[in-house]
């Protein structure tokens, strides 16, 4: 397994991050345990979740599954770099008027305690804001995170779904306080979604954040499902129109991957891994078989010629601008 530093921090994480959002929803607890055990055995030490996973009235279920997995012992917790998130509605009536999605010192403290309880741990390595909340002053937010860090409950702070401007403001405010600031940005980034190359990736690189791409296969559109007759993630979500919009690109991509002798999903992951701005793509698997398949992406190496061909099929937002991985 390859490892890399998480942004400007000294924390080293695996080049693939295991996403757990399907656990307790599409993946039962027994299979989730099997996948997480296999991840550790394969050298994956980085696992990402969120307090709202389980969704709706079942928010928190995924963290509970992970907590019971940690409780088995045998170094499971000690070997895991754990990341979770705060922002969403936990459907907790005791949150009262603070139940709605957003951030505040009150919510960070309360929801952090809830995550620690469900995860059956006393600390979280990477605590992430699931979205930006521009209504809240950064003095309040950094103050809350500093207290949590001083108490030993969190190690580092990350962001998710932030714009480049939000990252710059957050880092500027942190610097003024003498605080390390954000060490990572979790963002939707894949071959069909290259808009982050305009601002988010350059801002993250300049300001010392590692980038953790979510939806690296764009809900299945980049997994080759469209030509195997299976449902893509887009179809399952009713987005057949988007599939048709990109069908010509996807067909060209499938042909190119055939020439490489590698499947589309693994090439899509390998393309992200070839970008030095990327810390670790999140593999949100549902089954053990999907997990084992995703590991093979680490063995797929794309040369300059292959990367150029991919750019021709999926041009970046700057058209002929230099490729993201060349920054």
Which residues are known catalytic residues? Answer: 53
Pairing of strands 3-5, 12-14: antiparallel
- Tokens for 169, please give them: 């403001």
Reported as type and span, the H/E element at residue 36 is helix 29-41
What CA–CA distance (Å, rounded) separates 244 from 273? 27
What CA–CA distance (Å, rounded) separates 139 from 320? 41
CA 52 distance to own-chain centroid: 14
**Residues 189, 211 contacting (CB under 8 angstroms):** yes
Residue 322 DSSP label: P
**Per-residue b/e over 244-278, b at no fewer than 16 CB within 10 Å?**
eebeebbeebbebbeeeebbbbbbbbbbbbbbebb
**Per-residue b/e over 12-34, b at no fewer than 16 CB within 10 Å?**
ebbbbbbbbbbbbeebeeebbbb
- Tokens for 178, please give them: 């003498």
**Residues 130, 87 contacting (CB under 8 angstroms):** yes
- Burial class of 135 by CB neighbour count within 10 A (0 to 12, 13 to 18, 19+): exposed
């Amino acid at each position: 397994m390859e490892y890399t530093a998480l942004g400007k921090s000294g924390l080293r994480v695996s080049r693939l991050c295991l996403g757990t959002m399907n656990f307790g929803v599409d993946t039962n607890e027994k299979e989730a345990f099997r996948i997480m055990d296999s991840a550790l055995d394969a050298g994956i030490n980085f696992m990402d979740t969120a307090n709202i996973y389980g969704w709706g009235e079942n928010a928190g279920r995924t963290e509970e599954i992970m907590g019971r997995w940690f409780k088995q012992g045998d170094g499971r917790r000690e070997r895991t770099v754990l990341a979770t998130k705060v922002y969403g509605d936990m459907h907790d009536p005791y949150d009262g008027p603070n139940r709605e999605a957003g951030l505040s010192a009150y919510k960070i403290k309360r929801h952090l305690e809830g995550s620690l309880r469900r995860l059956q741990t006393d600390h979280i390595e990477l605590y992430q804001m699931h979205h930006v909340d521009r209504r809240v002053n950064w003095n309040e937010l950094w103050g809350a995170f500093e207290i949590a860090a001083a108490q030993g409950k969190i190690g580092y702070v990350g962001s998710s779904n932030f714009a480049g401007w939000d990252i710059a403001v957050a880092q500027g405010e942190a610097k003024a306080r003498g605080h390390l600031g954000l060490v990572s940005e979790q963002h939707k980034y894949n071959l069909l979604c290259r808009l982050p190359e305009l601002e988010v990736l350059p801002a993250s690189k300049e300001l010392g954040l590692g980038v953790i791409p979510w939806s690296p296969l764009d809900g299945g559109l980049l997994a080759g499902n469209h030509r195997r007759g299976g449902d893509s993630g887009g179809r399952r979500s009713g987005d057949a129109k988007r599939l048709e919009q990109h069908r010509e690109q996807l067909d060209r991509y499938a042909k190119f991957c055939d020439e490489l002798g590698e499947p589309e999903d693994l090439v899509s992951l390998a393309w992200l891994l070839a970008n030095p701005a990327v810390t670790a793509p999140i593999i949100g698997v549902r089954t053990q078989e999907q997990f084992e398949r995703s590991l093979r992406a680490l063995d797929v190496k794309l040369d300059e010629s292959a990367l150029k061909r991919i750019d021709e099929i999926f041009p970046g937002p700057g058209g002929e601008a230099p490729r993201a991985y060349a920054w």
